[in-house]
Amino acid sequence: MYNKENLQEKLFSLADEKYKDFHSKLIPTVDEAVVMGVRTPVLRKFANEISKTGDAEQFLNDLPHKYYEENNLHAFLLERIANYDELIERLDEFLPFVDNWATCDMMRPKILKSNRKRLLEDIRRWIKSPYVYEVRYAINCLMTYFLDEDFDEEFYNIVIGVNNDDYYIFMAKAWYFATALAKQYSSAVKVLEERRLDKKTHNKTIQKAVESYRLSSEEKAYLKTLKC
C-alpha cells in the first residue's frame, strides 16, 4: 500500500549525487535541498511501475509534494491518464503546485493531442491563471498542439495578451513565437514587423529564431534587421 515515507525512500535509493549537483543548477527556482538527483529515464521507469498499482491514485491525491522528483513523478503519472476529463481535473489540481520550468515542460499527455478542440478551451482558462507555471503550460500547449494543422493566427493574440513579466513566462512567449517563425513564418514574421510584442520579448524571439536550425539563412538575416 502507498506510504509517503516509503516512496520517498525508494526515490532516494534511485538518486545520483553527481546528477543532483548538475541538475540543481538548471532549476534555480527550486531549493537544492528538495532535489534528490534521480535521472529522468530512471524516474519514468519508476512511474511506469507505480502506475500499474493502486498506489498511483493515492500518490496523485497527496498534494503538495515535498521533493522535486515527486513532482516529476506526478507529471509522468499524469501522462498515462487516457481519459481527457480526468486528466484536466488532475492538471487543475497539480499546476498550481508546479514551481519550475522543467516539471512544467515535461508533461506531454498523449490524450491532449486527440482532444485539441476541448484543450483550446482549457488553454484559455489556464492563460489567465495567477500561477506562473499554469500560464507557461498554456503557452507550451499552444506551441505544441496549435502551430500545425489546427493553426489560426488568432492564437497569437492569446500569447500576446499575457500581461505577466515573470522570467519563465517571458521565455515561454519568446519560445512560442520563435517556434511559430519556424512553422508559420509568413504570419509570424508580421508580428515582429508590426511590433506587436514588447521590446524584450521581440528581441528574445529573434535571438531564439536565429539560433534555430529550422529557418533559412535568408530568413535569419531578415529577422536580424527587425531588432529593436
Predicted pLDDT at 1: 64
Residues 6+ apart with CB under 8 A from 20: 32, 35, 36, 37
Place of cell 534555480: 28
Q: ∠91-138-127 over CA atoms, to 5°?
A: 105
CA–CA distances in Å: residue 169 to residues 176, 205, 206: 10, 13, 17
Amino acid identity of 136? R
**C-beta of residue 73 within 8 angstroms of C-beta of residue 47:** yes
pTM, 2 dp: 0.95
Residues 6+ apart with CB under 8 A from 35: 20, 23, 24, 27, 67, 68, 69
Grid cell listed for 161: 495578451
**Rg over CA atoms, the chain:** 19
Distance CA 80, CA 83 (A): 9
Max Cα distance, the chain (Å): 61
pLDDT along the chain (228 residues), means of 10: 86 95 96 97 94 89 96 97 97 98 96 96 97 98 95 97 96 98 97 97 97 95 96
Predicted pLDDT at 52: 82
Burial grade of 27 (CB within 10 A; 0-12, 13-18, 19 or more): middle
In terms of DSSP H, where are the helices of 38-184? 40-51, 55-61, 68-78, 84-94, 101-106, 110-113, 116-126, 132-145, 154-160, 167-183
Distance of CA 218 to the CA centre of its chain: 30
What number of other Cβ atoms are within 10 A of residue 214's Cβ? 12
